[in-house]
A and B are shown apart, each in its own frame.
Chain A
Amino acid sequence: MKRQAYRAAPWLPLALVLILGGCAPYTAVSGKQMLTEYDVEVTTPSGWYRADLVGGVFAITRDGLTLQFILVGRVPVDEALKFTKRKFDDKLPPAEVAEVELDNQRSNPAMLNFVVEENVPATLGGRSGFRLVYTWNTDDGLRRKRVHYGFRDGKYVYRLIYQAAARYYFERDLTTFETVRESFRVLSKPS
């Protein structure tokens, strides 16, 4: 019977590395970042590390992605979203862009007990958009909290997200996130 179990073993090291170690190599990064691929410039705080992730996003963290991260990215308005079939379009006002973003999160089966704490207009990099604050539980019972700024400009929806464990980490790094937000600038002119 041990032989039977042993047949499963070749998968275990890979699975454990992926799950326990994560798959995001970290690189120290601080100061002004020209993210031309996202058409954005931000200044990152010292002591934070860039995590190389797939999927067209720039993410930095101080203590590891499971504890907190700040993410910069943009998606084309006609791109399918992961959890909702709703789509952005290039005429949506900020309130509706925010609703599509929220519906995408609400439809994520991994976000349990999803609660929207705030949904208000806000500017990011001088563009009119929204600020969302929401919380949820992970499947292992950890409460997470996110501040999600965004706006639509032409054919893209831009995102600046701060996510952290709701207890301790969220409050601790919120001020740092706000300094990143203040530094956020879109490289191209408004369309």
Chain B
Amino acid sequence: MAPAIALLIVMLGAAACQSVALAPLGQGQTSLALEDDERRLWNRAREEEDRIKRSGLLYNDPALTEYVNEVAQRVMPKAAREAGLTVQVQVAKNQALNAFAMPNGALYLHTGILAQMDNEAQLATLLGHEITHVTHRHLVKEFRDIQNKTAAFSVFQAMTLPFGVYGTLGQLLGVVGTMAAVTGYSRDMEREADQEGFVAMVAAGYDPTEAPRLFLHLKQWVEEEKEPQPFFFNTHPRLTERVESYEALVAREAPNTKGRELRVGEDEFRAHTRLLVLDNALLDLQAGRFLQAQKGLLKFQSMNPEDAQSCYLLAETYRRRNEPKERGEAVRWYQWAVAMDESYADPYRGLGLYYYQTGQRAEAARVFERYLELAPAAPDRVYVERMLEEVRK
């Protein structure tokens, strides 16, 4: 990745020092007038888009994809649209709190960040922010800035980025995506994206008071996970600062929105993201982020109170976390899952493992037997039979 960034800098650098002062797309233009280096960046972005499409990382929910694109169209500035800019939003299956925009208008939202949101107004806030990166040509400005000022330092930064569990699409992306998703933009550009994105979401009729709430959720996540801020915020103004700056924007906007009917879009958003919340909770469960998995599952439960699978998965979060004080919670949720659907086999397996690990052999035998009755072709049948043999001894 690092040599690729250096090579791209060399490639772009062939044209000599260039200005980082570029007018937003559509401003004073009737069609998109890209500069040479910018056109090359767009071409690279298209290649990287194809790579992401082939990767299997995209979240496959056509109705959700259509919905997020509709919201993006609402917050898209008219001038940029009329000049011919199109924005295409995709959802990536990844529990990290991240979103990023390619310079050509390809936007990616991670399931992790969508799962944290409550409503469409918060989604519009994020989309407004990302679309501003595109309309205000932040990526080409950032590249030119690297060329003009700090090439070696930036390459070094890119080489030493911690990919780790946050992952994002960092390792998959090419150089353009890496800049957009991982290294991010300068603080000034992020502030501009916050401000312009906010203006766009308000102009589209969304309730501005929802904007800071999105960042409050993200701040809470960071505090609960006791981890460094995720990539989306690594080079962004820190979350507290961003919440404060959004609150100031809301206060400034309050007189203009008085008496207007403002859109929050909670029901539509929840209807479209219901399954995503469950799927993202599963990713959190696999990654051992038990608290986040529990929050996601409880959110899903609140939308689907009769759902047995989410009860079972909630039980799994407690059992896998293996905190002695919470063991009762695991049993309670397994029992709830069975109460919802007596023919559901998985809770019996979970209960069996719980009893097995806590030395309650007779109970373990009883529920393992029930599991095998209900799921005679279970893929883990041989494992369960062995445990059953052991607890019967």
Interface residues of A (CB under 8 A from B): 1-2, 4-5, 7-12, 15-16, 19, 82-87, 89, 91-96, 98, 103, 106-110, 112-113, 119-121, 128, 130, 137, 139, 141
Contacts and interface: CB of A to CB of B under 8 A. Distances in A.
B168 A109 contact: yes
A19 B286 contact: no
B64 to A, nearest CB: 20
B50 to A, nearest CB: 11
A107 B287 contact: yes
Given A93-B387, A112-B55, A12 B288 contact: no
Contacts of A86: 286-288, 320
Given A4-B148, A89-B322, A103-B288, A109 B170 contact: yes
B379 A119 contact: yes
A114 to B, nearest CB: 9
Contact of A95 (B151, B283, B290, B387): B387
A137 B219 CA distance: 33
Given A2-B13, A4-B151, A141 B353 contact: no
B172 interface: yes
A1 B17 contact: yes
A11 B2 contact: yes
Given A11-B159, A107-B165, A139 B172 contact: yes
B10 interface: yes
23 contacts: A5-B6, A8-B10, A8-B155, A11-B2, A16-B3, A83-B165, A84-B165, A84-B288, A85-B290, A87-B288, A94-B386, A96-B353, A108-B167, A109-B163, A109-B166, A109-B170, A110-B172, A112-B57, A112-B172, A120-B382, A121-B383, A128-B386, A137-B55
Given A83-B165, A109-B168, A121-B383, 6 more contacts: A15-B2, A93-B383, A95-B353, A112-B172, A128-B386, A139-B171
Interface residues of B, number: 51
Contacts of B147: 1, 4
Contacts of B6: 5, 8-9, 11-12, 15
Interface string B154-166: 0110010001111
B26 to A, nearest CB: 29
A5 B10 contact: yes
A92 B357 contact: yes
Contacts of B55: 112-113, 137, 139
B94 A109 contact: yes
B21 interface: no
B108 interface: no
Query: What does DSSP make chain A's interface, helix, strand, loop or mixed?
Result: mixed
Given A112-B56, A119-B379, A106 B172 contact: no
Contact of B13 (A4, A95, A96, A103): A4
B356 interface: yes
B112 to A, nearest CB: 12
Interface in B262-306: 283, 286-290
A95 B14 contact: no
Contacts of B290: 85
Interface in B1-41: 2-3, 6, 9-10, 13-17
B260 interface: no
A78 to B, nearest CB: 12
Interface-central residue, A2, A89, A139, by most chain B CB under 10 Å: A139
A83 B159 CA distance: 20
A31 to B, nearest CB: 35
Given A83-B165, A95-B384, A112-B172, A8 B288 contact: no
Nearest to B95: A107
B325 interface: no
A5 B165 contact: no
B380 A119 contact: yes
B386 A121 contact: yes
Contacts of A98: 383
Nearest to A96: B353
A103 B156 CA distance: 32
Nearest to B385: A121
Nearest to A95: B383
A89 B320 CA distance: 10
A89 to B, nearest CB: 7
B252 interface: no
Interface-central residue, A9, A85, A106, by most chain B CB under 10 Å: A85
Contacts of B353: 93, 95-96
Nearest to A2: B13
Contacts of B16: 1
Interface-central residue, B151, B159, B163, by most chain A CB under 10 Å: B151
